[in-house]
């Protein structure tokens, strides 16, 4: 039985959050009182911060295929059962190559001598044991094709420093899509190591390094490190002044063969049409320089918190709400691709996927993966949620989160954008720790995700009919994403 305080607070919350839904024209086609009960339970009975503290502090960084990631899978199974989800299980899939960080050390030898702050990128190789001494040569990342054509013959025995010179490309992702060819060419040319990163920008913040992959589901034999901005910028200044730069680099990693892992799944069965499914989730895996709290511990525990809020509200939506915590996101959306492939036969019964994976800030936008029809459906709901803050709605298709594979499958792959200005510091860095998460924001995000999930699952009609491959291809081409997806090996629609 609810206490008087709880009832009073819930009524006050309903009046605030649902203020925009008081006229018939603005009311969403779902019981507003049910949405208010989900939101109230999410705000007043939340356990998301305790849950994230467990995941972050007790398990820590969770590289896909690692013992820590396997521990997180078991933790997530237990947490889903504790919440009361049904059909809780792991769905195994296999990562083509496992990878483990061992060590990375570097030292500037000339024109001055001091240690350098470096960390290895993921799924890259090693220097010879004991490291190498080599001169440093700058490579313009804004013209990789020209660099490979003109200067590759001079790269043997060198450390290549990626930096941007001249006019950057209009689409920053175009740089990332060219990295794979460059890394292979550098290795074939005999370069001993590369200083760069996922986009070759200097690291953010003081004494920070960032890790990450350099291609989707790809191993590169050449060692690649990210360097602290202070050290990298000093090297760049030396080179700009015409001073030869020499350094020692010792990077050791372990690359293994096929590695088992799994996604974690649990359901809130629908009361009328349990065969239709709304997926909510984030990715359980992370990088290992820290705890993976903001990438994507916040998204994973928000999905668990949203499910807890729906169950605690006493409401059951028409359709099933399914929580999926993916692994392999950091290696190229591999877990969500595996989920879509595993459920290919019943993907038409999936209504949408709602993904939270943009740091520690409040939700501020909803991108519907090209399904413009959903924008009109969402507008009344977002107006009624103004108590959570303003929400922008757009049709952009995101392939930086696990929404992408669902978009490829013809569904509204909905990415929830977040206002996370500090994410540039915590992203894949040693600063990705629990203390950088704002407790109140995490509670609000989980409650808001619960409302969105319930609304999508309880509507009389599904958000949109599944698209044909031709419709998906046409929309992706209209958004100029086809070349990017081809570069990543994700384009499945022919030419």
Could you report the per-residue pLDDT of 366-398, keeping only the tens digit for each?
Answer: 999 999 999 999 999 998 898 898 899 999 998
Give the domain CATH number at 179.
3.50.30.30
Same domain for 25 and 123: no
The pLDDT-based confidence of 11 (bands split at 50, 70, 90) is very low
By the 8 A CB rule, do 461 and 49 touch? no
- Asked which of 191, 223, 255 is the last residue of a domain, the reply is 255
Domain-embedded: residue 37? yes
Instruction: Work out the percent of the chain whose per-residue pLDDT is above 90.
Output: 85
Q: Residue 197's pLDDT band (boundaries 50, 70, 90)?
A: confident
Mean pLDDT of 8-14: 41
My answer on whether 338 and 360 are in the same domain is yes
What is the pLDDT at residue 168?
A: 84
Q: Are residues 108 and 170 in the same domain?
A: yes
User: Counting every residue, how long is the chain?
Assistant: 495
Mean pLDDT of 137-156: 95
- Asked if residue 361 and residue 237 are part of one domain, the reply reads no
pLDDT of residue 337: 98
Number of domains in the chain: 2
Q: Per the domain annotation, does 494 fall within a domain?
A: no
Query: With 90 as the cut, is the pLDDT of residue 19 above it?
Result: no
- In a domain, residue 295? The reply is yes
Same domain, 355 and 426: yes
The b/e string for 219-238 (b: 16+ C-beta within 10 A; e otherwise) is: bbebbbbbbbbebbebbbeb
- Answer whether residue 357 is part of any domain: yes
pLDDT, tens digit, 9 for 90 and up, residues 184-193: 999 999 999 9
- For the cut 80, the answer to whether the pLDDT of residue 28 exceeds it is no
In a domain, 420, yes or no: yes
> Are 248 and 264 part of one and the same domain?
no
Q: Which residues contact 17 (CB under 8 A, 6 or more apart)?
A: 36, 39, 384, 385, 386, 387, 388
The 10 Å Cβ neighbour count of residue 271 is: 14
Q: Give domain status of residue 492, yes or no.
A: no
Query: What's the whole-number mean pLDDT along residues 439-446?
Result: 98
Peptide bond into 111 cis (omega under 30): yes
| Phi-psi sector, 8: left (phi>0), alpha (psi -120 to 50), beta | alpha
pLDDT band at 205; cut points 50, 70, 90:
confident
Angle between helices 32-44 and 439-458 (to 10 degrees): 150
**Which residue, of 226, 255, 284, is where some domain finishes?**
255
**Do residues 109 and 238 both lie within one domain?**
yes
Q: Assess whether pLDDT exceeds 90 at residue 171.
A: no
Please check whether residue 280 lies inside any domain of the structure.
yes
Say yes or no: 341 and 218 in one domain: no
Is 232 in the same domain as 380? no
* Domain range enclosing 366: 4-95+259-487
Q: What is the pLDDT of residues 38-86, one digit of tens each?
A: 999 999 999 999 999 999 999 999 999 999 999 999 999 999 999 999 9
- The predicted structure's pLDDT at residue 169: 82
Last-in-domain residue among 255, 273, 303: 255
| Residue 403, domain CATH | 3.40.630.10
Average pLDDT estimate for 441-463: 97
Same domain, 187 and 227: yes
**In this structure, are 183 and 127 located in the same domain?**
yes
Q: For residue 198, is pLDDT > 80? A: no
- Answer positive or negative: Cα dihedral of 234, 240, 244, 248: positive
- In this predicted model, which residue has the larger pLDDT, 6 or 371? 371
pLDDT digits (tens, 9 = 90+) for 240-296: 999 999 999 999 999 999 999 999 999 999 999 999 999 999 999 999 999 999 999
171-180, 322-331, 460-469: least confident range:
171-180
Backbone φ and ψ of 193, nearest 5°: -170, 165
Identify the CA nearest to 457 among candidates 318, 310, 313, 267: 318
The answer to the question of residue 495 being in a domain is no
pLDDT at 45: 95
Q: What is the pLDDT of residue 199?
A: 63
Contact indicator for 432, 57 with CB cutoff of 8 Å: no
User: Domain check: are 228 and 267 in the same one?
Assistant: no
Q: Mean of the pLDDT values across residues 398-418?
A: 97
pLDDT for position 495: 73
User: What average pLDDT does the chain have?
Assistant: 92
For 226-242, give the secondary structure using H, E and C.
EECHHHHHHHHHHHHCC
Q: Is the dihedral angle over the CA atoms 234, 235, 236, 242 positive or is it negative?
A: positive
Confirm if 68 and 59 have CB atoms less than 8 A apart: yes
pLDDT tens-digit series, residues 302-350: 999 999 999 999 999 999 999 999 999 999 999 999 999 999 999 999 9
- Confidence category of residue 7, pLDDT binned at 50, 70, 90: very low
Q: Quick one: average pLDDT of 384-413?
A: 94
């Amino acid at each position: 039985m609810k206490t008087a305080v709880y009832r009073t607070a819930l009524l006050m919350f309903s009046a605030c959050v649902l203020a925009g839904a008081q006229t018939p024209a603005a009311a969403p086609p779902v019981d507003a009182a049910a949405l208010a009960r989900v939101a109230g339970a999410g705000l007043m009975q939340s356990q998301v911060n305790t849950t994230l503290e467990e995941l972050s502090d007790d398990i820590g960084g969770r590289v896909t295929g690692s013992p820590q990631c396997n521990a997180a899978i078991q933790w997530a199974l237990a947490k889903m059962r504790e919440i009361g989800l049904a059909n809780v299980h792991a769905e195994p899939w296999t990562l083509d190559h496992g990878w483990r960080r061992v060590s990375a050390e570097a030292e500037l030898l000339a024109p001055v001598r001091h240690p350098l702050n470096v960390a290895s990128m993921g799924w890259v190789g090693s220097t010879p044991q004991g490291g190498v001494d080599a001169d440093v040569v700058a490579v313009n990342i804004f013209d990789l094709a020209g660099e490979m054509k003109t200067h590759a013959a001079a790269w043997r025995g060198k450390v290549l420093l990626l930096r941007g010179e001249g006019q950057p490309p209009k689409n920053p992702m175009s740089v990332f899509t060219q990295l794979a060819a460059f890394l292979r060419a550098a290795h074939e040319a005999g370069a001993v190591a590369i200083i760069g990163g996922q986009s070759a920008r200097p690291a953010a913040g003081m004494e920070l390094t960032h890790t990450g992959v350099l291609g989707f589901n790809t191993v590169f034999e050449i060692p690649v490190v990210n360097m602290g901005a202070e050290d990298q910028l000093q090297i760049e200044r030396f080179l700009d002044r015409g001073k030869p730069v020499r350094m020692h680099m010792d990077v050791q990693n372990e690359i293994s063969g096929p590695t088992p892992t799994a996604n974690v799944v649990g359901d809130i069965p629908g009361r009328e049409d349990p065969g239709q499914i709304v997926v909510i989730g984030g990715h359980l895996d992370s990088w290992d320089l820290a705890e993976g709290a903001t990438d994507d511990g916040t998204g994973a525990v928000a999905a668990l918190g949203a499910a807890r809020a729906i169950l605690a509200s006493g409401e059951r939506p028409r359709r099933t709400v399914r929580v999926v915590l993916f692994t392999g996101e950091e290696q190229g959306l591999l877990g969500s691709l595996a989920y879509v492939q595993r459920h290919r036969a019943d993907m038409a019964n999936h209504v949408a996927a709602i993904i939270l994976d943009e740091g520690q800030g409040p939700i501020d936008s909803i991108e519907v993966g090209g399904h413009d029809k959903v924008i009109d459906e969402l507008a009344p709901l977002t107006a009624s949620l103004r108590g959570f803050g303003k929400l922008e709605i757009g049709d952009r298709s995101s392939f930086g989160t696990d929404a992408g594979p669902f978009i490829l499958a013809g569904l509204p792959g909905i990415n929830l954008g977040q206002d996370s200005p500090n994410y540039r510091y915590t992203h894949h860095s040693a600063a990705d720790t629990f203390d950088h998460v704002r407790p109140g924001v995490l509670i609000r995000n989980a409650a808001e995700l619960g409302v969105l999930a319930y609304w999508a699952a309880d509507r009389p009609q599904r958000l949109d009919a599944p698209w044909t491959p031709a419709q998906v291809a046409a929309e992706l081409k209209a958004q100029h994403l086809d070349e990017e997806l081809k570069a990543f090996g994700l384009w499945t629609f022919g030419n």
